[in-house]
Amino acid sequence: MKKSEDLFDDGMKLPLVEEFYTLQGEGYHTGSAAYFIRIGGCDVGCSWCDTKFSWNPDLHPPVDIRQIVDHASANPAAAVVVTGGEPLMANMNPLTEMLKEKGIKTFLETSGAYELTGDWDWICLSPKRNMPPVGDIHKVAHELKVIVTGEEDLDWAIEHSGLVNENCKLYLQPEWSVREEVLPIIIEFVKENPNWQISIQAHKYMHIP
């Protein structure tokens, strides 16, 4: 799949899937209010992905980022989470620059499969086996979140925890459809490795977007 930055004026327009104001439901910032911007385009292809509707950027019309920033700045929480899809398929520099000019904190959710662009206050790196992270994103990630579908994913998590900086938060998150099966495995792992924590998809339990 061609990088979206080639298709959308090098980041001045973005294939916007949806935007909404809600609470963060996963990882370190669970329970905090933020404005979510979901960018279209992803070729990582996780079988368990719950936003497959975002994969094809051609299905989502390009939107001027000035409009996106205006919408984001109209909300009480001066925080934006950019997610996908895989947002780094597009150039994030213009969007984050405009958000910063408005005094809005920027949070990124990414697999790291594409080169890092943008100025971020928080980077949540969630590496995937079929398209591992590129570049030096491990060194600047604030949060490592590994999705666990089975015991084999714990080895993947340990591998990537050795690449992040010493201040990076470490999370294991059960894949939603098999959460009952994998939670006992994750719980025992965290008890034996207390530098890790469990992340649950709290927004699904609370029935919010």
Give yes or no for residue 5 having a pLDDT over 70.
no
The arithmetic mean of pLDDT across residues 108-129, rounded, is 97
**pLDDT value of position 2:** 42
Peptide bond into 85 cis (omega under 30): yes
CATH classification for the domain delimited by 4-142+198-206, as one of 2.60.40.10, 3.10.310.40, 3.20.20.70, 3.10.580.10: 3.20.20.70
Mean pLDDT of the chain: 92
Sequence ranges of the domains in the chain: 4-142+198-206
- Residue 78 scores a pLDDT above 90: yes
DSSP-assigned beta bridge partners for residue 144: 125, 170
Average pLDDT score over residue span 29-55: 87
Helix (H, G, I), strand (E, B) or coil at 81: strand
Give the range among 9-23, 35-49, 91-105, 109-123 with minimum mean pLDDT.
Answer: 35-49
- Show the tokens assigned to 189: 């792992």
Burial class (CB in 10 A: 0-12, 13-18, 19+), 61: exposed
**Is 0.75 surpassed by the pTM of this model?**
yes
Q: Of 3 and 90, which is predicted with more confidence?
A: 90
